[in-house]
């Protein structure tokens, strides 16, 4: 038996624009997705036959059977059969394994049983990409366990067969999980933020500084299919300019890196009063510039699907208004097709965030404080605790 454990991160959409329906039946989208620290834990175990000669005989005869797939989860309402996207991820991965010519001499490695244990933390049916992340974790896990050495683009293409959000999950897990092979972690496509176009599977990395966020998942879900069908009849007054948003985020990321270097310099210059004051004044100027850029970024953080999902739910309208009306938040919007509403937080102390969190826990809302990552997390090994 071989086992691997991966963090399966959630995501938020900080921008989402929708165009007309294409010939393939999908809508054209232009959106920016960000990985968040909130994650599930996915453990994958494979069982292989020790008698390689017998397996080789089956391979030569073309008799290659799919393994027995067993899935378990800590939440009772999560399906653990063929309905779970992880089941399809195993099947798709092994089908690609079998079809890949360069792996013909490794077919004897195909396991006879695959066990997947899901420790769910990301709310289900929330527009946070929980299921997509689980599928990506299975893809990465099997690639590592079986030594198939698929490229990032091969894994992303495989993920696209399972769902439009899976390729991004493949990218962000490669960036943040140490258990993913190093050749993938060092790939130029490994990132925690990306712009997605087409049906959401044409991706390009975007740099972004970290931000604290609060997520509120209402006690109900929405149908993504119904939302995309309904948006066609909605009048959309304001759309995001994602070219401008990407440019602003990249500048903010650069400023963030420069600020961290200056903090290091400040430590070195301790005791040098004049130089220290000059450095502090310079940092105040940078902070002001950063705030101005964030305000510009918030202007373009628009999810046009709110025109259907939020406008057709008084509950979501009241929830969004409540988040927008607090001093602790800077910008509030919906993630994906909903129904999760999230807000980027101001720099406030733990007590105020704790108070806000409790204030939002009404009528069964699931409220979680987390953060948008900047790519320097070490996956499960990251132990940033907030006491919330």
Q: Which alpha helices (H) appear in the chain, and where do they start and end? A: 52-60, 85-99, 130-146, 152-160, 166-176, 182-185, 224-231, 242-268, 273-300, 306-309, 314-324, 350-360
- Say how far apart CA 124 and CA 159 lie, in whole Å: 19
Coil, strand or helix at 72: strand
The Cα angle at residue 380 between residues 355 and 331, in degrees rounded to 5: 40
154 near 29, Cβ under 8 Å? no
- pLDDT tens per residue, range 158-209: 999 999 999 999 999 999 999 999 999 999 999 999 999 998 989 999 999 9
**Dihedrals φ, ψ of 384, to 5°?**
-80, 110
CA distances from 19 to 152, 198, 239 (A): 28, 10, 10
Q: What is the pLDDT of residue 380?
A: 40
Which residues does the chain have with pLDDT short of 70?
50-63, 258-285, 375-388
């Amino acid at each position: 038996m071989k086992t691997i454990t991966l963090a399966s991160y959630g995501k938020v959409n900080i921008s989402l624009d929708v165009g007309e329906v294409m010939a393939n039946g999908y809508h054209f989208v232009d959106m920016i997705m960000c990985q968040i620290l909130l994650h599930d834990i996915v453990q994958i175990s494979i069982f292989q036959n020790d008698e390689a000669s017998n397996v080789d005989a089956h391979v030569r005869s073309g008799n290659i059977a799919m393994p027995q797939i067993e899935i378990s989860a800590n939440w009772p309402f999560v399906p653990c059969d063929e309905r779970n996207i992880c089941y399809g991820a195993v099947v798709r991965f092994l089908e690609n394994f079998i079809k890949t010519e360069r792996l013909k001499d490794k077919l004897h490695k195909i396991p006879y049983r695959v066990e997947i244990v899901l420790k769910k933390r990301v709310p289900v049916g929330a527009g946070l990409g929980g299921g997509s992340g689980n599928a990506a974790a299975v893809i990465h896990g099997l690639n590592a366990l079986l030594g198939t050495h698929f490229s990032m683009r091969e894994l992303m293409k495989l993920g696209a067969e399972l769902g439009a959000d899976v390729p991004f999950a493949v990218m962000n897990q490669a960036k943040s999980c140490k258990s993913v092979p190093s050749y993938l972690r060092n790939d130029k496509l490994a990132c925690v933020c990306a712009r997605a176009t087409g049906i959401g599977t044409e991706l390009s990395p975007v740099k972004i500084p970290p931000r604290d966020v609060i997520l509120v998942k209402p006690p109900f879900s929405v149908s993504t299919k119904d939302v995309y069908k309904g948006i066609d009849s909605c009048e959309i007054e304001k759309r995001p300019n994602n070219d401008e948003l990407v440019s602003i985020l990249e500048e903010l990321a650069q400023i963030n890196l420069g600020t961290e270097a200056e903090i290091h310099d400040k430590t070195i210059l301790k005791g040098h009063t004049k130089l220290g004051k000059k450095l502090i004044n310079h940092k105040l100027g940078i902070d002001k510039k950063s705030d101005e850029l964030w305000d510009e970024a918030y202007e373009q953080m628009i999810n046009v699907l709110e025109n259907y999902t939020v406008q057709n739910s008084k509950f979501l309208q009241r929830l969004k208004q409540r988040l927008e009306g607090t001093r602790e938040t800077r910008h509030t919007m919906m993630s994906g097709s909903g129904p999760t509403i999230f807000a980027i937080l101001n720099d406030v102390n733990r007590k105020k965030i704790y108070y806000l969190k409790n204030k939002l826990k009404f009528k069964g809302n699931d409220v979680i404080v987390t953060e948008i990552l900047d790519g320097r997390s070490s996956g499960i090994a990251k132990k940033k605790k907030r006491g919330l």
